[in-house]
Structure 1
Amino acid sequence: MKYKKPTKSSLLLRWSYSVPLLSYLSFFLLIWTLSLPLSPFTRRNTVLIDDRQWNKIEDSFEIRMKNSNFNSDKMKIGIPVTEEDKNEYLVNVNNKANENRNQNDILQDVFSRADKDKNGKLDSNELSLWIRKKIMEHISLAVSNNFNLFSDIDVDPRNGVVTWKEYHSYFLKKRGFSSKYAKNHDERRHKGLLRTVKEQILRDKAYWMEAAKSNPDALTVDEFLAFTHPESSAANQLALVDELYDKFDRNGDDFLTEDEFAILQTEGGDETLVIRQDENQRRAEFRKSIDLNGDGKADRRELLHYIAPQSPRHSEHEAEALLSLADVDKDSMLSLNEMLAHPDLFLKSKMVDTARSFHDEF
């Protein structure tokens, strides 16, 4: 077979996909391996939310990834709802027979897998380890699935960016509308769409405009990740670091000290009000989760590690919250009965449905 030399356009298209993906993966490698502070950049307003990598992901139970921007509303637009739709979040993707398990079966399965010492109880450490494992899975899948979804939508033309028109057409076809309807749909009127679908489009448009930095009508690969999975976006995480500096770095030296983090100050007229409520807890938080090298101050890399979803503090806080709400007998451990007595709490938590929990926060 005669070798066909690649054209310039095909090479350019290949690089338009591979360069952003490699840059993004390199960024995460930088976070977890280097100790140098990241250089500062322009600050902007954003909302502040409140290590060992797992080498092997358990192969028999996974939570199906759910993209919040593609929430289906099939029943309301006349499309039959299948059993798979009913269990869109909570299915065993490796075993079709288990797709229709009820809530108790799902919770029992999760409990059994999280109970490492098999004593019929989950302590805070077991809860935290399981939750962090699910977070690591979610972030890994979000990044890998983002590129595939991006490629599926970037078709008209396939040029390395997703336009709002391409996304909107994909949005409609995912809800059962024909390609002809999606192509000719008048976005100004949204004729034929129910109110709930119109509201979803408006929400998506708002999220889109927030994610779009270079072009309001098109998203790059990383901007698309910020649109579909804001918690996984490198740009969003860097913005959260800026928010921490804006809120706590009172002397503007691009370092956060223990005192700055622990002692809050608010401006009231000509006076500065010092707030020392929960100061001891905040100092403990700074020493344990922020100041990684113990020098009494935090640089950008340490703050980036602190706010990143992979940070152990997120799973620890979630475990503490679940225990405080469901530990009825106050033994600082969670039994299966206590878990089954609070199904909604656990089914919507990062312990079970990590993807939806993250998206609800944003």
Structure 2
Amino acid sequence: MLFSLLICDFLTARPPLDESKALSVDKLKPPDHLDGLKLEQDGHLNKDFHKEAFLGNHEEIDDDPEEIAETKLKDIFYKVDTDADGELSVDELESWIMDKINSHLDEALEENDHIFKHLDPDGDGAVDWKEYYMHFLMAKGYPLDKAEKHMEDYDVIEMKMEERDQLVRYKFRWTDADTDPVDNKLSKTEFLSFRHPEQSKLMLENMLQTLLNSLDRNDDGKLDEEEFSALPPGEVEDEEQKKMDREWQEERRAEFKKVIDSDRNGVATKEELMAYVDPRNPHQGKSEANNLISMLDDNKNGKVSLKEVLHHKDIFINSKVCDVKRILHDEF
């Protein structure tokens, strides 16, 4: 029943689609990961945030051999070290990090404009869900004629369960973004909220409310350290999983105390949580700069040397072990 609701309104008129100009799935799907955001959409800490803030969008070094990855880290270090004194200060890191975060967000805006224009060939300033749906089917390799028939009888295409699940999730996100007016169509601004909710204050507020609904056990509209670090319900018997759970909790406790609870009173208000997740908040740069220094500054002189960056290169270069841990604890 839920799946049939995704296509029930297709029969209204629309411009013809050009099968030869179908977008890829990667272009169409809203990213599960939010660029430049400290929290994932499921409320987990973004394990790659420190790396993204330091490396930016164009320094993909995960798959590089170690020596090449180190060379890239050195190049970035010298770019950040604007006074060329061989050490990175808080101010240098803050300026660099805000530049990287803003680059993330600006590129998302450009990409959104390009995709929206492609999905809105008649230029009426709105993309209907059915138009998005049709492009999704073509991106998955279904021919246009079969996709059109599917809109009238969804049994025409025997979609994989994962594809149906994707569309259901996307439809919920589409509905969340469809706010003014609620018409099952998205304006360019609403489409940006659909694909990149980190760009929308309303969507960030909705995300935080979802987080509070999940974690705020006493319903006081705030989070304390215990609530933020609470494990999902359910018994875990495997010792390795228990160890990973403890590490997960320790990471969240540290993040809560060091970064989220800015006034150090043991409670995070909605305002503190919003300041924490809002990527364009200028506080992000200073907070992350201080955070990086606390992790990298081995000699405790308040700055970071190249030697210290390379000593902690695992923060910036993902290992397969780290990836496995993240995958195993990917959901609440």
Give the alignment's TM-score, normalised by structure 1.
Answer: 0.46
* Alignment TM-score, normalising by the size of structure 2: 0.50
